[in-house]
Structure 1
Amino acid sequence: MALKRSFIMMPILLMPVVAIANSLRILHIERCGDLLDLSKRLYCIQTPDEVTRDVQIKFQGRDFRYKKLDAKPHTLQVDLSSPKLTSGPLWLQKGDKKSNAIWVSLQNSHVVAAGKDGVVKNDDGINTYLDLVSIIIEEQHDGLKESERLARKYGADIVGMIPPLNTYQLRLPIKTLIERDAYVLRLGNEDVVDAVVIEETAPEDKGEEGDKTDPTKKNKNNDELDANRFYDAVDYYRRRFAEANSIQPYAIKIGVIERNVDFDAPDFASYLGGCAAEKSNLCVYARDAENPDNHGTSVTGVLAAEWGEGGNKGFLRGLNSAAPRIDIIVDRNSDAGITANIAASVNLVEDGVRILNWSWGFHRVGTKNISNKTLDSSVRSGIAMSGYEELIEEFFLWLRQHHPDVMVVNSAGNSAAPTGQDDFRLPSALVTDQLLVIGGHQRSAKSTNVTDPDFVKRRKSSNMDKRVDLTAAACIQGSTTQIGEQSKQHCGTSYAAPLVTATIAAMLSINPELTPEQVRILLRRSSMTIGERSDFESPDAQDLTAPILPSERYQQLDHPDIGRSARLDMYKALELAVESLTRVR
């Protein structure tokens, strides 16, 4: 039987079109056509309204021809197949008006999402993909060749792939969950197959951890950010690089694994187009969201939101002209859950991203929190956890071998549960120098100095234990639809993670030769404290993070920080990054 390759018009075309404030926006983009034909790179772009003839497509500043798909008036197709092209920003332009810019990766990793008809409930009541699975081929074998052989054997189609991880996505010829599980068992027993990945997510799910929102009134003093010396760090960076004969900062690329950002919000309106250098050195590339009250806008806002009255404040935006060129690329590849998150991460790393922000994670069904209550959100079945663990481990093994300078910052989770057991929590439980895990804290009611451990307390929902590297402020002000509007407070470790990502970006812009291990050392060495002192012995102790060690306090055995948990100090971390210039080089 001849191998069948699917020519796919992506789920992008099935997404509902929602009217938004400005029709010149890109809502979604995905590869289309034959994904296995690497000589062709066709992209399908979805817009909120039908595009008129006077609209241009700009890719890296050049005009590109496109065609409308007759059956899909809101969808454009552009051909970027030229071998001379490299990954870069694409946007729509009509006269002087520009859409949001999206980052088009011309790398080869892409997986497809299931439509509503391709998702069913399993026995645990979790949404699971019915006919789409991914197989990880043992590294000593040719992944494409073996996947083609298995596709022929099982009558399947190859519809997606992550070549650097030897992972290929198959569409199985099945109709029921029982049939799916039988195929998974047979595929898993093939000698060349390392693991089978089952995707458990609803189509167009809003995020793995979701938003933790609290309609608390806006805090005029932004105390939560004060707990990490946010403004002190901004001031230090501005002054340090304004000095004569100061250090020349280095350009940095950041990857944010999220779906989209609302470019109609005042926090992001200045980022339209392909990053106008005359306006800012900071660039944001993302699909457009219909409103600002979403996970991607809030997470990205911690990094890049304007310093106005639009709700959020981005740390890197606050650096202003002192900062180097910083590209923030927001992408999830497709809506295919965790597999798509990994595909996007691979592409972005190959495109030169130095830091990845993963504000997502999940627990195994049956995981209990510290109150011995069973978790009922962000959970996956045991069979799905096994596949995800193999896929994420393959990603970090690939990073270590081919991109040892890349760091991943991951949120610890919001279930008040241990985060360090790989049987129960991913990705945070994995141990590697290239993965930092971030818990969340909030201000206490005590009036103390910012450096006092009692200045903050662990946010009740934040996951914990010794696998957590640092805590950071869990509550931020969300973006608004108009200037001066009252914003919601968003809380969760999803928003603590990008505070650390922003700090690392600033550190690497100062000293790009810092390794992931050295960055962790500097973050821990510069940290303030939170929580009670640990005795280093009790297995039942509720450590908020790994306890601070004497080696992290210059071998001072009687230092008062020893045994306490670590809290991000953005200002001190930047100071140590500057000091490292004379020690590392």
Structure 2
Amino acid sequence: MPLFPFAGLALLLMATALPSLAAEPLRLVHLQRCGDLLASGPLSYCLSAQGLQAGAVRVLLDGQPLAEQHVQRDGQQLRLQLDPDTYKSAPIWLEQEGQASNPVWLSLNSSHVLAAKPNEVAKNMDGLTTYTNLVSLIIEENADGLSTARQLAKKYGAEVVGAIPPLNTYQLRLPATTLLERDALVLRLGTEVNVDAVVVEESGAEEGEGSNELAAGKQPPEEKPSGDEWAANRFLDAVNYYQRRIPATHKPVPTTPIRIGVIERNVDFDTADFSDYLGAAPRSDGKPHTRLYARDASKPDGHGTTVAGILAARWDKGGNTGFLRGLDGAGPGFEVIVERNSDAGITANIAASVNLVEDGVRVLNWSWGIHRVGAKNIQGDEIDSLVRSGLAMNGYEELLEEFFLWLRAKHPDVIVVNSAGNGSSYSGADEYRLPSSFITDQLFVVGGHQRSERQDVAVNDPAYVVKRSSSNSDMRVDITAAACAHASTVQADAAGDAHCGTSYATPMVTGIIAAVLSINPDLHPEQVRMLLRRSAMTIGKNFDFEPADAEDLTAPILPSERDYDLNNKDVGRSARLDMQKALDLAVESRDRVR
């Protein structure tokens, strides 16, 4: 009799279990500049992976493997050394033993900031988490930013640790351990001759901006969305139009690839919606197709996954359906880059946006925003979520102003699409909310609507939808779109929970703008806004340009947006996105603009 009668069974079970242990998917979960962020020579990048085995691993940048001397490995951690004169910004991913990881966008541009560590934050008098020793200085444009920042750092015993050079903004680590010490230094730095503003960051240590806007104002749950929310924007009609009209045998429309930047943290590539975006993500038909680059998330229903899904989710496999993915085969191949630079709050959002614009992004999706402490909703109650102190808001306002001035001067064709917010408040008052209150042709603001209870009306009837009660509104809102989408799921063909908010209306508008620009890339931002408003359906009542308080859901449609017809039934109403009509006008605009 064998000495160990169950040994054979144990070995069999172990052998059966080994594949599952080895089957942990290969993923890139973190990528960030590290080392000296101000270095001009070889740049260091730190990567964190999961699922790496003990053997050799290939690191591919834009599909080309990096030489071994450029890669250092320590378990699941990798460190890259790249010469910016040799390489350019591109997607990077890992390959090992037949597996490919998710691709992540690696930018070789110079804007990078640090997030505070857990011992570098404290609660301020408003009860908000704020950085104690990291601030950013916006240097006057006529001064040498880096030189000035280093001089001030030496004067105050600080260190320059991060930068957004195109905005003449530099991050300092102050010799402060308490808020009292920090505020004293901030006050002195703010009076320096060449300092335009000091940006104080308010967000948690090494965590996100709190972008789940559904929590804003702690609204009670609204009624569940219907199954045809996107029908209110003619989503499927738009996909069908693009698929049939663009490659038409008679007068086909040439298209231009468009790169989209999404300021979010990550996307869950274990979901059915995104599982085929790994590595180079080849398609069997050989035609250009949508590409998605993002760090891997651990939850299928995360904010970034849902926002990215509205643009790029695979069709008929998971909880979501991506608009740009639906244009595959007819379109030019869209690139969707999900990027957030670091976890340093609003400052990191701007740093990431600057890098993406320099990397050729034409449309930026900002599904985020903040309210000033004390901001009130339309009922007169204070908003108590996604709020920042007056000190922080003043710095953010200056930083955003520098960003939009830079866009106008250097990248006038770039469009930023921003959510109006979900505080039942006013989107356009700078005392209340950023960034949506900025007035610039390059910033589009999106409100949210949902299906009404009227089932007996046509889709183009204003009563087909109603404003989401939580959606911010006023004249600054350019257009509304469906506010509800389904989260992605790990299991194929499963239905994800509904997520609602202006965060999810925003990528609907981002997607159609990208499609419009793929048809006519010569359109300028003000022309794209006019096109969206000319093509828009309506929502709400007709107020004859004098709406009751808070009932102006968007800027009212003007006679100039209806061929100067003063009697048009749409004039004076709020604007609702019509995706199919927008594409139709984009095709018409090719002959008018060129």
| TM-score of the pair, normalised by structure 2 | 0.92
Change in Cα spacing, 1:535 to 1:216, as seen in structure 2 (3 Å) is closer
Amino acid in the other structure paired with 1:500: V
Residue aligning to 2:86: 84
Percent of pairs identical after alignment? 58
- Alignment of 1:59 with 2:61, yes or no, is yes
CA shift for structure 1 position 53: 2.7
Aligned length: 563
Change in Cα spacing, 1:422 to 1:217, as seen in structure 2 (3 Å) is closer
1:76-155 map, 5 Å = 76-155=78-157
Q: Distance in 2 between matches of 1:409 and 1:21?
A: 39
- Alignment of 1:239 with 2:244, yes or no, is yes
Residue aligning to 2:384: 376
Residue aligning to 2:531: 522
Unaligned runs of 5+ in 2: 1-20, 216-220
Q: Distance in 2 between matches of 1:184 and 1:487?
A: 46
CA shift for structure 1 position 69: 5.6
CA shift for structure 1 position 23: 3.7
Change in Cα spacing, 1:304 to 1:216, as seen in structure 2 (3 Å) is farther
Q: Distance in 1 between matches of 2:104 and 2:52?
A: 19
Taking only aligned residues, the RMSD between alpha carbons, in angstroms, comes to 1.8
Amino acid in the other structure paired with 1:353: V
**More displaced stretch, 270-279 vs 561-570:** 270-279
CA shift for structure 1 position 218: 8.4
Residue aligning to 1:362: 370
- TM-superposition CA deviations, 1:158-192 (whole Å, max 9, x none): 11000000000000001110000001000000010
Is the 2:200–2:391 Cα contact (8 Å) retained in structure 1?
yes
Q: Distance in 1 between matches of 2:224 and 2:486?
A: 9
Q: Distance in 1 between matches of 2:344 and 2:424?
A: 27
Q: Secondary structure at the match of 1:39?
A: coil
Work out which of the residue numbers 411, 425, 432 in structure 2 matches 1:417. Answer: 425
CA shift for structure 1 position 457: 0.2
Residue aligning to 2:6: none
Q: Distance in 2 between matches of 1:115 and 1:122?
A: 17
CA shift for structure 1 position 81: 1.5
Unaligned runs of 5+ in 1: 1-18
Residue aligning to 1:203: 205
Q: Distance in 1 between matches of 2:313 and 2:223?
A: 20
Change in Cα spacing, 1:483 to 1:251, as seen in structure 2 (3 Å) is same
**More displaced stretch, 400-409 vs 238-247:** 238-247
Amino acid in the other structure paired with 2:488: S
- Alignment of 1:309 with 2:317, yes or no, is yes
Is the 2:427–2:436 Cα contact (8 Å) retained in structure 1?
yes
Q: Secondary structure at the match of 2:324?
A: helix
Q: Distance in 2 between matches of 1:402 and 1:79?
A: 29
CA shift for structure 1 position 291: 1.6
Change in Cα spacing, 1:281 to 1:292, as seen in structure 2 (3 Å) is same
| TM-score of the pair, normalised by structure 1 | 0.94
Q: Distance in 1 between matches of 2:475 and 2:494?
A: 40
- Alignment of 1:260 with 2:266, yes or no, is yes
- Alignment of 1:281 with 2:289, yes or no, is yes
1:569-584 map, 5 Å = 569-584=578-593
- Alignment of 1:227 with 2:235, yes or no, is no
Residue aligning to 1:33: 35
**More displaced stretch, 270-279 vs 75-84:** 270-279
Change in Cα spacing, 1:21 to 1:246, as seen in structure 2 (3 Å) is same
CA shift for structure 1 position 217: 7.8
Q: Secondary structure at the match of 2:27?
A: coil
Change in Cα spacing, 1:120 to 1:396, as seen in structure 2 (3 Å) is same
CA shift for structure 1 position 67: 4.5
Amino acid in the other structure paired with 2:196: D
Q: Distance in 2 between matches of 1:314 and 1:117?
A: 40
- TM-superposition CA deviations, 1:445-466 (whole Å, max 9, x none): 1021000000000001100000
Q: Distance in 2 between matches of 1:354 and 1:388?
A: 23
Residue aligning to 1:15: none
Greater radius of gyration (CA): 2
Amino acid in the other structure paired with 1:56: R
- TM-superposition CA deviations, 1:423-459 (whole Å, max 9, x none): 2110000000000000000000102100000000000
Q: Distance in 2 between matches of 1:421 and 1:99?
A: 44
1:398-547 map, 5 Å = 398-447=406-455, 448-537=457-546, 540-547=549-556
